[in-house]
Amino acid sequence: MHAPTETRPPLPPFTHESATRKVRLAEDGWNTRDAAKVALAYSLDTRWRNRAEFVRDRDEAQAFLERKWRKELDYRLIKELWAFTANRIAVRYAYEWRDDSGNWFRSYGNENWEFDAVGLMTRRFSSINDLPIGEADRKFHWPLGRRPDDHPGLSDLDL
């Protein structure tokens, strides 16, 4: 369900180019850590599974993201297209963050996304594993916000 004026290009059916663009736009959004803005990419009745947490609508998605980014400090994310069909995209990703005690982590995950006709994500299923790392082992060193175009992606970093 969505408001009639909402659209979120690129729209399905996806091509390799449009799916890759959709993934980068999602990465860029999440790297803002602006939960209200990011939540607008999801349908009003979006359904998520993130680890063992279940989200049932856009408001819950926004609340989830607000909690996430209060806990995961200095968050930097890279997403990469894995596969796609007409209205579904599979993504692999990694992100680095620290907790409030200064402990660093790299979280690895896979997501499956499903989109409606206007490009809003209706389903998001995410599986994630956290790896404690030393600060010296970090690989994501851009200033907070959007990953620069010249920063290596996951495959380039051999992650």
Per residue in 30-87, pLDDT tens? Answer: 999 999 999 999 999 999 999 999 999 999 999 999 999 999 999 999 999 999 999 9
> How would you write 28-46 as a 3-class SS string?
HHHHHCCHHHHHCCEEEEE
Residue 4 has pLDDT above 80, yes or no: no
Dihedral of the CA atoms 13, 15, 20, 22 (nearest 10)? -20
End-to-end CA distance of the chain: 36
Cis peptide before 9 (omega within 30 of 0): no
Query: What predicted TM-score, i.e. pTM, was given to this entire model?
Result: 0.95
Average pLDDT value over all residues in the chain: 96
Residue 93 has pLDDT above 70, yes or no: yes
Residue 129: the pLDDT is 97
Mean pLDDT computed over 96-115: 98
Residue 6: the pLDDT is 84
Residue 92 has pLDDT above 70, yes or no: yes
Cβ–Cβ under 8 Å, residues 78 and 154: yes
CATH architecture of 16-93+109-127: Roll (3.10)
Residue 27 has pLDDT above 70, yes or no: yes
Residue 112 has pLDDT above 60, yes or no: yes
Cβ–Cβ under 8 Å, residues 92 and 82: yes
Residue 42: the pLDDT is 98
